[in-house]
Chains A and B, each alone.
Chain A
């Protein structure tokens, strides 16, 4: 007897634990196999680009916190760099180091969540993510010490940072730097050669090098596909040209490589942090900048290597106190361009981990 089958449509999301926010995948299934997938965005669209046009340049900084809320420091950083480029403002040496320290701590914190939730999606339910949130807490404590906030920091300012770090910050960071390598080794011991993880993630959701470049993927997604492209090296900003670090890359471009690249990046961030803490100079943490900034007429694009990829701010100034145009190059939105190509042909359970391995933050995708 022949059983008649037909493809059917399943909505995964918008509110689903594995969509990491409010994101809908309109999936067409043939049995358990994905034959088509259409991403549906916009559930978290708050119109940040429009809101920014009515705020002063400094007033936009809290808005950037609310883009990728798992990496607020990086968003602050990219935005103030763009404004400084536009207005030609110099930053004191100490502030540059503090910014790099914050950005690298943020990268570790963000990758911990990325890796933890990815393992959650793989089926290692809650155990690894709790380990990783344990370490992320220590980073949040450091941020709290510096600016009093634990999620939306609003710490960087045009021309520096809002306030200098307190005296106890450097010893606390030193302690963290001593402990963290051991924790990363602990994850590796548990996970790196774990047979279940290898079976679930190796060879799954391959993004080829050519496609990764064509869709302008960035961050760990691009590097896992074998492209050695990191804005910190390719287009050094701030003081990144002073530090020694490697750019980890994968070669297969599968979920496992994306996971490995993130873990290795945490190690490299620790290397940068060690050097930055050693060289941290004394001095001012903020230069004199007028509260109501009037940058000259013009346009600027400033970008950084954020944890999720190439985060850029495109600003147009008409000489007034508010940006005429404020555009965010959201790496996570662009990284999702190839999602359909990556999931078609895989089963629903694989779709969840492929999506998880891209590591998105819906607040940034929708803006």
Chain B
């Protein structure tokens, strides 16, 4: 059974390592400040007892006030999982740092979020639309797209 690590516990560890990096946490997930996203992600991947080597999926949700991007992390060796979240505000040009340098599985998925939500990922090697064509107006999965 994959053990879902407590967001609260991990948040506590992260606060010690990177002060003020965690915005909110619950038993199921933790929200990381966008400025610390890459550092926290790298720490989660490289710390032997966390060992999150497998980024299973990335999704985004439009909550109107902000966009929330979820990183579903898994460790194949230790068989545990964690949901890491990051929020970005503003509807004109929301952006987050890209995690492709850590997990290449983010490549197509970040492109998909860019395409359908309009969130740019800074540092992505090939950020362009993936399912819609270049020149398409708008981002269909946003709640204000009709």
Q: Does A pair with B?
A: yes
* Chain A residues packing against B (C-beta within 8 Å): 41-42, 45, 47, 49-50, 211, 213-216, 227, 229, 234-236, 299, 301, 303, 310, 312, 314, 316, 324-325, 327, 329, 333-334, 336-338, 366-367
User: From residue B12, how far is it (CB to closest CB) to chain A in Å?
Assistant: 22
- Residues A336 and B108 in contact, CB atoms below 8 Å apart: yes
Partner of A325, one of B1, B59, B108, B129: B59
Q: List 6 A-B contacts (CB under 8 A).
A: A42-B132, A214-B104, A215-B107, A301-B72, A333-B108, A337-B105
- The answer to whether B105 touches A214 (Cβ under 8 A) is yes
User: In whole angstroms, what is the CA distance A303 to B2 when docked?
Assistant: 12
- If the complex has contacts A312-B56, A314-B57, A329-B57, are A334 and B109 also in contact, measured as CB distance less than 8 A? yes
Q: What separation, in Å, do the CA atoms of A300 and B105 have in the docked complex?
A: 21
Given A42-B132, A49-B141; A324-B103 close (CB under 8 Å): no
Find the B residue at minimum CB distance from A341: B104
Q: Which of B97-138 contact A (CB under 8 A)?
A: 103-105, 107-109, 112, 116, 129-133
**Cβ B1 vs Cβ A213 within 8 A:** no
Which chain B positions have C-beta within 8 A of A235?
Answer: 1-2, 79
Closest CB of chain B to A294's CB: distance in Å? 19
Question: Lowest 7 A-B CB distances belong to which pairs?
Answer: A216-B105, A42-B131, A235-B2, A45-B131, A329-B57, A327-B59, A325-B61
Cβ of A296 to closest chain B Cβ, rounded Å = 14
Known: A45-B131, A301-B83. 19 other contacts (CB 8 A): A42-B129, A42-B132, A45-B132, A213-B53, A213-B76, A215-B103, A215-B105, A216-B105, A227-B76, A234-B79, A236-B1, A325-B59, A325-B61, A329-B59, A333-B109, A334-B57, A334-B105, A337-B105, A337-B107
**Residues of A contacting B6 with CB < 8 Å?**
none
B43 contacts A by Cβ under 8 Å: no
Q: Is the CB of A42 within 8 A of B56?
A: no
The minimal Cβ–Cβ distance linking A317 to chain B, given in whole angstroms, is: 11
Chain B min CB distance to A279 (Å): 21
> Which secondary structure characterizes the binding site on chain A?
mixed
Q: Which of A211, A312, A316, A334 has the most CB of B within 10 A?
A: A334
> For the complex, is B70 an interface residue (Cβ under 8 Å from A)?
yes
Given contacts A214-B105, A336-B108, A337-B104, contact A50 B55 (CB under 8 A): no
Report the count of interface residues on B (CB-CB < 8 A).
30
Q: Is there an interface contact between B103 and A216, defined as CB atoms closer than 8 Å?
A: yes
By CB atoms of chain B within 10 A, which of A42, A47, A216, A299 has the most?
A: A216
User: What residues of chain A lie closer than 8 Å to B36, measured between beta carbons?
Assistant: none
B4 to chain A, nearest CB (A): 10
Could you say which of A215, A227, A324 contacts B61, with CB atoms under 8 Å apart? A324
Contacts of A303 in B (CB 8 A): 56
For the complex, give the distance between the alpha carbons of A211 and B54 in Å.
11
> Could you tell me if A314 and B54 are in contact, using CB atoms closer than 8 angstroms?
no
Q: Report chain B residues within 8 Å CB of A329.
A: 56-57, 59, 72
- How distant is B45 from chain A, measured CB to nearest CB, in Å? 10
**Cα distance, A314 to B58, chains bound together (Å):** 10
Q: Give bound CA distance, A227 to B77, whole Å.
A: 10
Query: Min CB distance, A216 to chain B, in Å?
Result: 3
Flag if A310 contacts B131 (CB, 8 Å).
no
> B61-89: contact bitstring with A at CB < 8 Å (1 yes, 0 no)?
11000000010100010010001000000
Cβ of B140 within 8 Å of any chain A Cβ, yes or no, is: yes
How many Å lie between the Cα of A345 and that of B133 in the bound state?
29
List A contacts of B55 (CB < 8 A): 216
- Are A50 and B141 interface neighbours, CB within 8 A? yes
- Kindly provide the distance from the CB of B54 to the nearest chain A CB, expressed in whole angstroms: 6
Min CB gap A37→B, angstroms: 13
Which of A229, A234, A312, A367 sits near B57, CB closer than 8 Å? A312
> What residues of chain B lie closer than 8 Å to A236, measured between beta carbons?
1
Least Cβ–Cβ distance between A365 and chain B, in angstroms: 9
Chain B positions within 8 Å of A301 at CB level = 57, 72, 83
Residue of A nearest to B102 (CB): A214
User: B62, B108, B130, B131: which contacts A334 (Cβ < 8 A)?
Assistant: B108
With A42-B132, A312-B57 already in contact, the answer to whether A337 and B108 are too (CB < 8 A) is: yes
